[in-house]
Structure 1
Amino acid sequence: MTICKTALEVAKVHRSYILLYLVGLSVIMTFFLTQSVPGVSGSKPVYAPLKSHVAVVDRDEDKGGVASGLREYLGRTNTVVRVDDDRRAIQDAMATDQADIVFVVPKGYMRDFAQAALSGQPPKQVDSVLRSRNDKHDLSEMKVLTFLSNLRTAYLAGGIAGGDAHDDTSGASSAGLPADGLSADTLSSADSANSKQTLQPDDESAMRRAVTDVLRATKTASEDAHVSVVATRHGSGNVSASRVFGLSLTLGNYPIVASTISIIALVVGAFTSESMRRRMEVSAERQQSVSFGLLAACAVIGLLVTVYYLVLSVGVTVWQTGSLAGLAWGPVVLATCSMAVYVCFGVSIGFVLGRLALSSRAVNGLANVVGLVIAATSGAWSFGTSVMTGPVALVGKLLCGRWYVDAIDQAMGLGAYAGSGSSIAGWFVSTGVVALFALTMVCVGLAVRHSVHKVVRNT
């Protein structure tokens, strides 16, 4: 018990590190969170369409007007941005939040699309590049699929009509496109056979007429649509509260690791210095009691860090959403357990560095470097893992932060798991990997301790 109290006194002496790494960095991360996730304000329901920043990269020289038509169609419900046809430019657009998703019209797409339509096959899809899958990306891809399905219908219908229907003022309806402009009913086999007699895959004019019909029909449908907001009991509070709480925990991976590494390394290092070692040799304390005392002190520090960040995350959630009514306590408990295991990982790294008896400057530098590398490759910041290069993504999988973020997403049903919801099995696997990282570092620390003691005995 004496060793534990002494170790905690050492941590108290280095309270500046606690204020800097744990409190200071957590406040900065909280500021980033509040800027990226708007809070719930006001009680009057307002309809706000889910918009994305989309880009259309044309590699088919706008043959048949497909690329320009797709760009105009998406621009009615999204913000269309310009991205150059270059891999680096696309990656930069993703990393800087310039674009949420990029659709690529490949070379020869119009001809392949026409051939697929004339042969009775489903519409050929365009390529897409995205950061990480969420509701906005799914909605954008659904809109692209709707456009292509309607384009196929209008293209085949134009072939049946022989192009005469386009002189009619009724536009898309006379061309065979459904009046609402939103369905994609395929034509009968007989109609498709008639289309083959009048349409050719290289006929750009027929495709341009079909694109015009689709744009005219969908514009008319959107103008005639009436939107009403229906008040619900909870509204979107469930999603908002879970998202804020989960993001708060994932953004805390850097402050958690940096603070635990620096504090634990300084505490353990104080007991492995040469002067302290000589005092311990002449004291009545056994080595086992010293080890248990240090372990207890590390556990207390880890518990305090866990409680602090849990309280901070709950406070940010209340601040942003107004209440905790939207939080399901089951996922919260799972996410908290993942955070506690992640804290143990940071404690284990600090234990290893403390056994090496490094200076405070070295500990400070290593805590920052390790924390930044783990956080940057975890996918918790503004860019997702999908825009990382192959080697960087591989490094992320070999580090603990990526699995910690995945465990939080699995527990809260966020990120790639927003559609499927919370998964206990997936959470257990990811949290187990984090625990294995922590156990590995503890074993390394014990091996370092054994090697140091062996060298000391030989000298």
Structure 2
Amino acid sequence: MNTCKATLRILAAHKLYIIIYLVLIGVMMLAVGGSALGAVGGGSDATYTPERAKVAVIDRDGNRGHIASAMRSALSEGNDLVDVADDPETLQQAVASNWVDLIVIIPDGYADRMIASVTTDGATDGTDGTAGTDTKAATAAPTVDTVTSYTSGAGSMASMNVTGFLSMTRTTLIGTHVTAHIPGTNDAAGNADANTNAGATTTDSLPEGTVTGLTLHDLAAAATRASDLARDRRTNPGIRIDHTGESAASSEAKSRAALADGFGGMMKTLLYPLFLAMTVCTALVMGVFGTGEVRRRLIASPQRSSAMGMQRMAALCAFALVVVAAYFVVAFVLMLAMGIDPLTLPPAGVAMTAVSTAVYAMMTVACGFMLGETGCGDTMANGFANVFGLLLLFTSGATFPLDMIPAPMLTIGRMLPSWWYCTSIDDAFGIGTAATGGVDVAGWAASLGLVALFALAFACVGLAVGRIRRSRPASAASPVTRLAEA
């Protein structure tokens, strides 16, 4: 019992390793691995949310007709507005450096051309708007200048929104100020013609209209109305994913498979913080108990050295299991924060994953025991844990898809315990490398057995090296000789 307490006190004295390796890196890896669960939280009836584009509106028309302000208001729904100076060098740098996804330039005189586009002679000056014309003879709508980023499709989508806003503004401007003229309503013969042709409506028989008295105030009202419609969720509801083509059972199965895949990926990322923390902490504890003065006091103790060694390892293994349990609690809390119920996970898969993580944690303790028995100091243990831990992480398939990993790295990965730890999780949930496409208990047990064999191998190497070092007490004796006067 005293040995267990001493082990815990050593861990508490070096809590910086625990804070950095277990807490900071552990939570970061869980968050990175759990990012794939974000799409699962929406459920099968989730709406599609397009990517938000960064849009800059350059107004060279002085906001005449409130075109610029209304356009910014309309684009603010679903996009992020940024400010860019109207300078050629700044605009070029913004596009080249991808500061923005879309630049909209409203040219000088655009409001006047918008008003003139609904008239025939275009003689209106945009102030009194006295021209009245036939709407069928209106000119084409004016356009604005746009510069779209070549690295993202979000800018192209936002450009379509700009075109839609301007088209809606022009349509609203015409629709709210057109005066219809029905042919034949002002003469007696017209009534007879209307009765004769009542059953044969053609394009030529449709009512004609004129637009008169347009001003910048009218254009501003039309632009504001178009902006309000663009931001109205009842008029423009979100895009929902249609699942009517598949059965409810199929949709539920896909959702469960995606949830299991995301949770399994999140658990795979734990291999790195677990290896860092438990390897360094175990090597540190073994190094403290292996120093000259402490080792001689333990040898002089009436209790057997093997029994005290078993107590130390039991305390470290218990600490590793507590860490594993804490990681699972954090993972479930993250799922709840994403709106995902952890109870929807397959209980058998979660249980087998917990066993796999516990066995892997025991393997990391055995690796730390081997380092401690070889006499590695803190610096050497940290260096080994970081370098070998990164090798385990990047060859296991936990961070990159297997088809993106070069073949030599895959060969190296299959000779390391991290590969078989990730394979056991795949077999537990029937994901990834699972050969049967479903839960494979036999494959899970075989992969877990290989991880346990790695732990046994590390422990045997540590015991052999430790026995050799203890059989040569001179190598562990203090090099300082103290002279005492009689």
Shifted more, 383-392 versus 244-253: the winner is 383-392
Which position in structure 2 is the counterpart of 1:394? 411
**Is 2:371 the counterpart of 1:371?**
no
Between Structure 1 and Structure 2, whose CA radius of gyration is higher?
A: 2
**Is 2:258 the counterpart of 1:269?**
no
- Equivalent AA in structure 1 for residue 379 of structure 2: R
> In the alignment, is the contact (CA less than 8 A) between 1:46 and 1:229 conserved in 2?
no
Report the CA distance shift for 1:414/1:255 in structure 2 as closer, same or farther (over 3 A): same
Q: Map 1:184-203; keep pairs closer than 5 Å.
A: none
Q: How many Å separate the matches in 2 of 1:365 and 1:331?
A: 35
> In the alignment, is the contact (CA less than 8 A) between 1:240 and 1:321 conserved in 2?
no
> In the alignment, is the contact (CA less than 8 A) between 2:30 and 2:267 conserved in 1?
no
With the length of structure 2 as denominator, give the TM-score of the two structures. Answer: 0.54
Q: Map 1:22-41; keep pairs closer than 5 Å.
A: 22-41=22-41
> In the alignment, is the contact (CA less than 8 A) between 1:260 and 1:346 conserved in 2?
yes
- Equivalent AA in structure 2 for residue 426 of structure 1: G
Q: What is the number of residues matched between the two proteins? A: 282
1:416 is paired with a residue whose SS is coil
Identity %: 31
How far is the alpha carbon of 1:227 from its aligned partner?
6.9
**Is 2:460 the counterpart of 1:434?**
no
Q: How many Å separate the matches in 2 of 1:399 and 1:332?
A: 23
Q: How many Å separate the matches in 1 of 2:447 and 2:428?
A: 10
> In the alignment, is the contact (CA less than 8 A) between 1:379 and 1:402 conserved in 2?
yes
Q: How many Å separate the matches in 1 of 2:313 and 2:451?
A: 19
Aligned partner (choices 420, 428, 432) of residue 403 of structure 1: 420
Q: Map 1:68-107; keep pairs closer than 5 Å.
A: none
> In the alignment, is the contact (CA less than 8 A) between 2:286 and 2:372 conserved in 1?
yes
Which position in structure 1 is the counterpart of 2:89? none
Which position in structure 2 is the counterpart of 1:113? none
CA deviations over 1:149-198 (Å, ceiling 9, x no partner) = xxxxxxxxxxxxxxxxxxxxxxxxxxxxxxxxxxxxxxxxxxxxxxxxxx
How far is the alpha carbon of 1:46 from its aligned partner?
4.5
Aligned partner (choices 221, 224, 228) of residue 244 of structure 2: 228
Aligned partner (choices 443, 461, 464) of residue 444 of structure 1: 461
How far is the alpha carbon of 1:447 from its aligned partner?
0.4
Report the CA distance shift for 1:421/1:457 in structure 2 as closer, same or farther (over 3 A): same
Q: How many Å separate the matches in 2 of 1:398 and 1:42?
A: 39
With the length of structure 1 as denominator, give the TM-score of the two structures. Answer: 0.57
- Equivalent AA in structure 1 for residue 392 of structure 2: I
Which position in structure 1 is the counterpart of 2:17? 17
- Equivalent AA in structure 2 for residue 445 of structure 1: G
Report the CA distance shift for 1:46/1:301 in structure 2 as closer, same or farther (over 3 A): closer
> In the alignment, is the contact (CA less than 8 A) between 1:241 and 1:324 conserved in 2?
no
CA deviations over 1:106-159 (Å, ceiling 9, x no partner) = xxxxxxxxxxxxxxxxxxxxxxxxxxxxxxxxxxxxxxxxxxxxxxxxxxxxxx
Report the CA distance shift for 1:350/1:43 in structure 2 as closer, same or farther (over 3 A): closer
- Equivalent AA in structure 2 for residue 433 of structure 1: L
Which position in structure 1 is the counterpart of 2:237? none
Structure number with the higher helix fraction is 1
Report the CA distance shift for 1:311/1:277 in structure 2 as closer, same or farther (over 3 A): same
Q: How many Å separate the matches in 2 of 1:244 and 1:391?
A: 27
Q: How many Å separate the matches in 1 of 2:451 and 2:306?
A: 27
Gaps of 5+ in 1: 49-225
Root-mean-square deviation over aligned CA pairs: 2.5
Q: Map 1:267-416; keep pairs closer than 5 Å.
A: 267-381=285-399, 383-416=400-433
Shifted more, 286-295 versus 13-22: the winner is 286-295
Report the CA distance shift for 1:267/1:414 in structure 2 as closer, same or farther (over 3 A): same
How far is the alpha carbon of 1:418 from its aligned partner?
8.6
Report the CA distance shift for 1:289/1:227 in structure 2 as closer, same or farther (over 3 A): closer
2:338 is paired with a residue whose SS is helix
> In the alignment, is the contact (CA less than 8 A) between 1:34 and 1:320 conserved in 2?
no
Report the CA distance shift for 1:231/1:417 in structure 2 as closer, same or farther (over 3 A): same
Q: How many Å separate the matches in 1 of 2:389 and 2:300?
A: 38
- Equivalent AA in structure 2 for residue 400 of structure 1: P
Which position in structure 2 is the counterpart of 1:5? 5
Which position in structure 2 is the counterpart of 1:258? 276
Q: How many Å separate the matches in 2 of 1:256 and 1:23?
A: 10
Gaps of 5+ in 2: 49-241, 478-486
Q: How many Å separate the matches in 2 of 1:321 and 1:412?
A: 21
How far is the alpha carbon of 1:47 from its aligned partner?
7.8
Report the CA distance shift for 1:250/1:227 in structure 2 as closer, same or farther (over 3 A): closer
Q: How many Å separate the matches in 1 of 2:246 and 2:411?
A: 46
Report the CA distance shift for 1:227/1:237 in structure 2 as closer, same or farther (over 3 A): closer
